[in-house]
Amino acid sequence: MGTSGRGRVFLVGAGPGDPGLLTLRAAEVLESAEVLLYDALASDAIVAFAPATCERIYVGKRAGDHAMPQDEIERLAIERARAGSRVVRLKGGDPFIFGRGGEEAQALAAAGVPFEIVPGVSSAYAAPAYAGIPLTHREYAASFTVATGHEDPGKAVSSLDWSKLADPQRTLVLLMATANLREIANELIAHGLAPQTPVAVVQDGTRPSQRTVLGRIDSIADDVAAAKIGAPAVVVIGGVAALRTQLRWFDNGALFGKRVLITRAGEQSGEFARALLARGAQPVVAPTIAIVPVDDTSDADRAIDDLASYAWLIFTSQNGVDAFFARLAAKKCDARSIGATKVAAIGERTAARLRTHGVIADLVPAEFISEEIAPEVIARSSPGNGVLLYRAQDARDVLPQMLQDAGLIITIVPAYSTVIPPDAQFAQKVSEADVLTFTSASTIRGFVALLGDIPASHAASGKCVACIGPITANAAAQAGLTVDVVAPVHTTVGLLDALELYYATRT
């Protein structure tokens, strides 16, 4: 161990791919990782749990393509732990189920390096579940067996007992079996399994790229070859496989498999990406804006010092709320500084962010746009009342103009600014997407700028363009985009609901 005395290795199961199946302990360990050694089957969304300061080392192994030999992986984990680092060895599925986790734990124990095992959800049962296949069912199977279809090539004789595996009363689950599927099927039939026994092969289980082939044991190898099913895949053999036709739930949603471009700021894309994954879509994170603080905070500080003089404090976004409370904290103040000033929030998400700071908005308009909040503020105010508007530096002037025309005295504080982050791969990400989503007019401007010489209309050709509301849709139209979906409820959830309805009505 290193001089810090805190070096430790965590053997963590990443689960089958869906980040929603990551355990709480696994997420906790990942978030404190200093060195991350991760496998090919650990999804990008799960690797992203590690902090930006974490040293990430890819050690994945695919058939015939090993990024790093097994003994080198073990040596590296031991070396980094002895240097005092918190090392996370992230393995697909569960580290102790066909993942060589036992061997790695033995190496750590022999080296005297402290370690912890964090179990993960195994693809052995998760992939069938996401394909609508229960491994046990009172009418078909009271038990199941999990075996590898790819034994240690150094073995002279297989240790699998085919006579016991060919049991029609028990579900057989095989991992890493696609390459040997024809031989496996022949062995099972030769040992008594009926040729018509149902079989399902699930590739990329729990992911938006999941594909399933359902067939019979005597022809499944040909079916899988025709469908070009490859690794990683789980093979389910037995009567329960046929239940997929009734219980299919994950891969039949309207958004399943759709690649959806997320253009909002990177730090705000996580929740949207997780919501897409939950609906079977593949998020493509490609921020067209980044939120940065303003260089000069003197206007914000003066407004905070004079909060008591304002009748209303209006927030137009979560970013404005964050910027406001950041300035309060810098001045060693908190929500009590708001005092008797009424607070208005455009959008339920903005109101929710206020609640995290202990502030309940006095006004949240039914429609989440600036034009809706103005009449309600005006109706509850008197001419000459002061209104403090905390918003983006480059926001539209519609709201302050409406309030000013009603005789209110408006103070605008530029709380934050939006910039366009560089992305050399942006055009490629757009070309690979099926759906382009936009959550503000600024994301449209960033989209156009990042495309450079490529016309926005050309980049969006053949793709669904979805906007969070009419103002964003209008900006998209002005940029030459044909808008297919405008969310009636101006939230990311509303946008996803509208997208699902759009695709559901097209099938």
Distances (CA, A) of 266 to 272, 423, 428: 10, 12, 18
Q: Is 39 a catalytic residue?
A: yes
Contact between 197 and 170 (Cβ < 8 Å): no
Which sign does the torsion angle of CA 245, 249, 255, 256 carry? negative
The answer for 208, left when phi > 0, alpha when psi is -120 to 50, beta otherwise, is alpha
Q: Is 68 a catalytic residue?
A: no
- DSSP E strands in 107-258: the ranges are 115-118, 143-148, 170-175, 198-203, 211-216, 233-237
Contact between 248 and 130 (Cβ < 8 Å): no
Q: Is 484 a catalytic residue?
A: no
The pair phi, psi for residue 200, each rounded to 5°, is: -125, 140
Do strands 282-285 and 233-237 pair parallel, antiparallel, or not at all (unpaired)?
unpaired
Look at residue 411 and give its three-state secondary structure.
Answer: strand
Which sign does the torsion angle of CA 137, 141, 142, 147 carry? negative
Listed in sequence order, the residues at least 6 apart from 219 whose beta carbon sits closer than 8 Å to its beta carbon are none
Q: Exactly one of 39, 94, 167, 251 is catalytic; which is it?
A: 39
CA distance 302 to 210: 55
The secondary structure of residue 454, as a DSSP letter, is S
Contact between 103 and 70 (Cβ < 8 Å): yes
Q: How far is CA 376 from the centre of its chain?
A: 37
SS3 content of the chain, % helix, strand, coil (to 5): 40, 20, 40
Q: Exactly one of 61, 218, 223, 299 is catalytic; which is it?
A: 61
Q: Exactly one of 18, 167, 176, 402 is catalytic; which is it?
A: 176
Do strands 342-345 and 386-392 pair parallel, antiparallel, or not at all (unpaired)?
unpaired
- DSSP E strands in 368-493: the ranges are 386-392, 409-419, 435-438, 464-467, 485-486
Enzyme catalytic residues: 39, 61, 176
